[in-house]
Structure 1
Amino acid sequence: MAASKPQIAYLGLGTMGRGMVANLVAAGYSVTVWNRTPVDSKDLGVDVSVASTIAEAVSGADLVMYCLADDPAVRDVVQGAQGVAAHVSDDAIVVDLSTISFSAHVEEREAYEARGVRLVDAPVFGSRGEANAGGLWVVAGGDEADFARVREPLSVVAESVHYMGPSGSGVRMKLVGNYLVLAQLTALGTALSMANKAGLPVDAVLGVLKVTDFRSPIFDGVGDAVAKDDYAPDFAAKLALKDAKLLQEVGAELGLAVPVADTAQDLLERAVGEGWGDLNASALIKVIAADAGVNLAR
């Protein structure tokens, strides 16, 4: 890209998109946005152009970015006569920040390659708070020269940006990380339920978890929220269920047992069945506590 800042099209203004757009604008980028549900620029609180169609949004864009919920959402935005692949300039770079399956990534990549458009897969760790603060963590795959060209705008939305290797490497790393997230949520729910049944005060337990050599930001943040009976969504349980299923798929593909994903999928399916799908992913802890017959709130 030229020395001047690239023109950015950002598609999708959900949990992650609004924060990323605000940070890009604050850093001096010119951004055109599109959202499936129409939005007014005044509602966004930042100086952006609002396009009514994907074609309008990507027209003239040097860089197209999106962070969408799942495989079907990415297919819907990318493919087809009205999709990004049909309308983006062949000298633009597309950055997909979504968490999707490897097979969906391959479909997406092939749709762009047919037009000669370059794609960087750059899924993110973090949720609404990190997106708003510009504190996400990006794991990227693709051609290294293409990655170098988009590193600067990615650094605006992220605390750190990591190049993982060829196309698809970002997608793979995101699933590796998500396995660890689900493992920690499951372990935390079981440990807190065990402590409760053993008569240990929740505040004392959390105090230990904050200082030991196995401390974790997830244990700290989610543990405090659970003690307050706070399951307000940063990352919805229904989306965590999607990730657990993706982990099952990659495990089958690689011939690898993924026992935590098995357990988390069961817990999250039950959470969604209880009507907790729009609560935080930590709602799986509510299921663990219910099975144990305990109340983890103070």
Structure 2
Amino acid sequence: MKRRARTPRVKRVGLIGLGLMGAAFAQRLRAAGWEVIGFDLAPTCQQRARKLGVDLARDNAAVFALCDRVLLSLPTLRETKMVLREARHDLRPGQLLLDTTTGEPEQTVAIHRRLAALGVRYLDTTISGNSEQVAAGDDVLTMVGGDADAFAATRGLLRVLTSRVRHVGPAGSGARMKLVTNLVLGLNRAVLAEGLCFAEKLGFTRRAALEVLVASKAYSAIMDTKGEKMVREDFTPQARLSQHLKDVRLMVRAARAAQFKLPFTHVHRQLLEAAERAGLGALDNSALIKVLAGGKAR
């Protein structure tokens, strides 16, 4: 694509990573009138993004060359580092990067320091919600770590992506808080799956059990987002099981560094690893119920 002169009057943002969450971001931004210049290596992601109105750049570096604000929506920080290496000649003072990747907090801090030396502002911008919730404009929270002035400069953009935005501390804080929220969410999901399977063994249908759980003091919001998927065994991904396993491994490493034990999370990791071995990694994270129902984790 041809380069265009940058103008501060255009609401323009770069978006690298056009998978499930990246596509949800693109949908929100385009609906709010933003010009989105994006890139993804996967042809299927490119096709979907084009249909959403994203202008596709020729590569990652072109996105940085054209945009003063760039959103990163990548699987791991390894991809973030690769993208930054590719774009190193197009990084410039005053540029603002919002990285939504769930990654190792210490690596996030290291990236912040390297970019700060170049005058580039970097915010670890983690999302507590799945791609379907973001696309629908549901009540989703963004947790941001980094400099307060950089956060203030991008608050308007962030409010387009999710309904609630919170600055949780200096660089690395968004990544750390995401591990905390994902730990609680993941265990909620696993407990729901176990409860529904237990109910089946006691002679109830999953649907009957879910209806009672929703009406009882055992209710949690995870039942609204994952209960029906578990009942119908519709594991079309909102967030992939393998991605949550990656996050759980990050939790275990962070806890080890903090000299803290996570007994429930260790069991959860074993279940997720069993699910991945069973070929369920690309499915929605609610597919964990298949392992519990089939006893494959033993």
TM-score by length of 2: 0.90
Does 2:98 match 1:95? Answer: yes
Contact 2:11 2:33 (C-alpha < 8 Å) held by counterparts: no
Does 2:58 match 1:52? Answer: yes
Q: How many residues align?
A: 289
Using a 3 Å threshold, how does the CA distance of structure 1 residues 105 and 115 change in structure 2: closer, same or farther? Answer: same
The answer for the alignment partner of 2:82 in structure 1 is 76
Using a 3 Å threshold, how does the CA distance of structure 1 residues 118 and 191 change in structure 2: closer, same or farther? Answer: same
Using a 3 Å threshold, how does the CA distance of structure 1 residues 211 and 61 change in structure 2: closer, same or farther? Answer: same
User: Would you identify which runs of 4 or more consecutive aligned residues in structure 1 move more than 6 Å?
Assistant: none
The answer for the alignment partner of 1:296 in structure 2 is none
The answer for the alignment partner of 1:23 in structure 2 is 28
CA offset digits 1:183-242 (Å, max 9, x no partner): 112211221222222223323321121122331121233222111122221111111110
The answer for the alignment partner of 2:71 in structure 1 is 65
Query: 1:89 offset after TM fit, Å?
Result: 2.3
The answer for the alignment partner of 2:3 in structure 1 is none
The answer for the alignment partner of 2:108 in structure 1 is 105
CA offset digits 1:117-166 (Å, max 9, x no partner): 11111111222212322334211111111111111111111021111111
Using a 3 Å threshold, how does the CA distance of structure 1 residues 25 and 43 change in structure 2: closer, same or farther? Answer: closer
TM alignment of 1:62-211, pairs within 5 A: 62-78=68-84, 80=85, 82-83=86-87, 85-135=88-138, 136-211=140-215
Contact 1:61 1:88 (C-alpha < 8 Å) held by counterparts: no
The answer for the alignment partner of 1:37 in structure 2 is 42
CA offset digits 1:8-56 (Å, max 9, x no partner): 1111101111121122122122221111235667862243322112221
Query: 1:171 offset after TM fit, Å?
Result: 0.7
Q: Residue 13 of structure 1: which of 18, 23, 26 is its match?
A: 18
Contact 1:128 1:234 (C-alpha < 8 Å) held by counterparts: yes
Structure 1 unmatched ranges of 5 or more = 294-298
Contact 1:94 1:118 (C-alpha < 8 Å) held by counterparts: yes
Using a 3 Å threshold, how does the CA distance of structure 1 residues 41 and 184 change in structure 2: closer, same or farther? Answer: closer
Structure 2 unmatched ranges of 5 or more = 1-6
The answer for the alignment partner of 1:274 in structure 2 is 278
Using a 3 Å threshold, how does the CA distance of structure 1 residues 46 and 285 change in structure 2: closer, same or farther? Answer: closer
CA RMSD of the aligned region, Å?
Answer: 2.2
Contact 2:193 2:230 (C-alpha < 8 Å) held by counterparts: no
Q: Could you tell me how far apart the structure 1 residues matched to 2:237 and 2:249 are?
A: 20
Contact 2:137 2:163 (C-alpha < 8 Å) held by counterparts: yes
Contact 1:206 1:220 (C-alpha < 8 Å) held by counterparts: no
Using a 3 Å threshold, how does the CA distance of structure 1 residues 241 and 145 change in structure 2: closer, same or farther? Answer: same
Using a 3 Å threshold, how does the CA distance of structure 1 residues 91 and 292 change in structure 2: closer, same or farther? Answer: closer
Query: 1:100 offset after TM fit, Å?
Result: 0.9
Indicate the percent of aligned positions where both proteins have the same amino acid: 29
Question: What residue identity is the alignment partner of 1:100?
Answer: G
Question: What residue identity is the alignment partner of 1:55?
Answer: A
Query: 1:292 offset after TM fit, Å?
Result: 8.7
Secondary structure at the residue paired with 1:16? Answer: helix
Moved more, 174-183 or 110-119: 110-119
Contact 2:74 2:101 (C-alpha < 8 Å) held by counterparts: yes
Question: What residue identity is the alignment partner of 1:75?
Answer: K
Contact 1:121 1:167 (C-alpha < 8 Å) held by counterparts: yes
Contact 2:229 2:286 (C-alpha < 8 Å) held by counterparts: no
